[in-house]
Amino acid sequence: MAFEFLEERNRIEYKSQLQDNFEETVIAFLNYSEGGEIYVGIDDKTKTIPGVENLDIVQRQITDRIKNNIQPHTLGLFDIVIENIDGTEVIKLIVSSGIEKPYYLRKKGMSPEGCFIRIGSSKQHMTKEQIEAMYAKRIPHSLSSMRSPKQKLTFKQLEIYYSEQKLKLNDEFLASLDLIDEDGRFNYAAYLLADENNVSIKVAKYAGTTKVDLIENEEYGYRCLITATNRILEKMKIENRTFTKITPTKRLERQMVDELALKEAIINAIVHTDYSREVPPVVEIYSDRLTITSYGGLPPGLSRENFFRCRSMPRNRELMRVFHDVDLVEQLGSGMSRIMEIYDQSIFTFEDNFLIVTFPYTEGFSTTLTNILTDKVADKVADKLTSGERKFFESLLPYFKNHEWLSNSQARELSGSEESSAKRYLRILTNKNILEAQGEKKTRRYRLFKD
């Protein structure tokens, strides 16, 4: 791609090669409210791109230097990307703004000599007053500092996910993923990623636009958070049905919610939720919208302006690192960028302790009756129903245009039947494989039979 040189500014730094003070630039971005990007292999003074030789070696050097020379832990706060610019490969280091500020050089300690901040296009030593003010705002309940309520944990599921990515967890993986504290005890990040825990994410489904008529309430969890995430994403593939719009010239199809944006919003909610109060995310499916609610609101220090600029400040860096390793997160800030490419800021609602994402269903699109009934079901309707049964069934069809499941009370209301008659018709339609039923008597619901 053709590369346009941007002047070094608050979020961009160019380096022709790794230098002795490389960590100082990284620290400055970690302590800066917007993070930043460091390009290695680009010479800003000569406006040339010498590139990087031995990319693998330089990547390892960058990772090792950040990991070993900077405190507190930077796990999950940086990402290394290889970019090909005008035929030359360079390294792009994406640095997030950390929530455990101030970050500092290990050998210098939390002092003006060891702490740096980004000011304009350069880094500067922090003053003692700046360090004290930043430390006072440090998040007290990070996952690494919270002890797991259980200490007998296993990680077989986590090992499988890593092996699928051709990554092997060695004997030191608990320490390398920052899952144990200084005393060797499991922290809360380990608890969330363990094979068994007591954390679950709820997915609720309602018949209408309010919470009055709950037709489904499922929980995904009590196991490795990655497993729970994957199962929720699978559930969303089923729920996120395709709507159709017939125009004079062609047939158009859209999903209820953009699939990629929905996936990113769910992962963001799971990775960035504040688990200190043990309030997991909730997904709610209504007849006109889908909402995702996560606890904790915006991380302290991240403004709404920077949030909408897709600036990354991982609340749970340990989860961010693991989700990145298993390919659920591509790179820092990428999830929000994808959502904002498709939806505007109005889908986000900020409350003191909650962040809510509301996806309205695609306007102007709906499932048509010809698409609702398969040929086999249509044949059954024509051949197997009496006139009364057919009339009852046809009174339900408009509802199935935009909904999958129907409750007993909704069937009575739509058909105008008495309770006993509605139950009898629903039983007949179920026995004739035109409808299928799910649930006990009081909570039983119905949908069109799928053959």
Per-residue pLDDT of the chain (451 residues), as tens digits, is 456 655 557 889 999 989 889 999 999 999 998 999 999 999 988 888 999 988 999 999 999 999 999 999 898 899 999 999 888 999 999 999 998 899 999 999 999 999 999 998 889 999 999 999 999 888 766 888 899 999 999 999 999 999 999 888 887 888 889 999 888 899 999 999 999 999 999 999 988 888 988 888 999 989 999 999 999 999 999 888 776 665 556 666 778 899 999 999 999 999 999 998 889 999 999 888 999 999 998 887 888 998 998 888 888 999 999 999 999 998 887 889 899 999 999 999 999 899 999 999 876 654 444 445 655 666 566 567 787 888 888 888 878 877 888 888 899 988 888 888 999 999 999 998 889 898 887 788 998 887 6
How far is residue 8's CA from residue 47's CA, in Å, rounded to a whole number?
A: 12
- Compute the C-alpha angle 305/269/206, nearest 5°: 115
The two counts, helices (H) then strands (E), for the chain are 16, 19
Whole-prediction pTM = 0.73
Q: In angstroms, rounded to a whole number, what is the distance separating the alpha carbons of residues 354 and 295? A: 5
- The answer to whether the beta carbons of residues 435 and 446 sit under 8 Å apart is yes
Kindly indicate whether the domain formed by 200-360 is annotated with CATH number 3.30.565.60.
yes
In 112-134, which positions are buried (b, 16+ CB within 10 angstroms) versus exposed (e)? Answer: bebbbbbeeeebeebeeebbeeb
The single-letter code of the amino acid at 7 is E
Query: How far apart are the C-alpha atoms of 72 and 329, rounded to whole Å?
Result: 23
Find tokens 């929720």 and name the residue.
232
Enter the tokens of residue 318: 């340990």
CA dist 75 and 73 (Å) reads 6
What is the C-alpha to C-alpha distance for residues 286 and 214, in angstroms, rounded to an integer?
10
Question: What does the alpha-carbon distance between residue 383 and residue 378 come to, in Å, rounded to a whole number?
Answer: 9
CA atoms within 13 A of residue 92's CA, in its CB half-sphere: 15
Q: Is 198 left (phi over 0), alpha (psi -120 to 50) or beta?
A: alpha
* CA atoms of 415 and 395, how far apart (whole Å): 5
Q: Which CATH superfamily is domain 12-136 in?
A: Schlafen, AAA domain (3.30.950.30)
E strand residue ranges, 247-369: 251-255, 282-285, 289-295, 348-350, 354-360
CB distance 405 to 205 below 8 Å: yes
Structure tokens at 237: 């593939």
Is the separation of the CB atoms in 371 and 396 below 8 Å?
no
Residue owning tokens 């455990």? 100
Q: What are 90's strand-pairing partners?
A: 83
Burial 254-284 (b: 16+ CB within 10 A, else e): eebbbeebbbbbbbbbbbbbbbbeebbbbbb
Going from N- to C-terminal start, the domains of the chain cover 12-136, 200-360, 369-448
In angstroms, rounded to a whole number, what is the distance separating the alpha carbons of residues 278 and 135? 25
Supply the DSSP string of 115-175, one letter for each residue: BEEEETTEEEEPPHHHHHHHHHTS-S--TTTSBPS-S----HHHHHHHHHTT----TTHHH
Amino acid at 280: P
- Fill in the amino acid letter for 390: R
- In CATH, what number does 369-448 get? 1.10.10.10
Phi-psi region of 120 (alpha: psi -120 to 50; beta: other; left: phi over 0): left
What is d(CA 52, CA 138) in angstroms, rounded to the nearest whole number?
36
The closest of 326, 382, 394 to 157, measured between CA atoms, is 326
Length of the chain in terms of residues written:
451
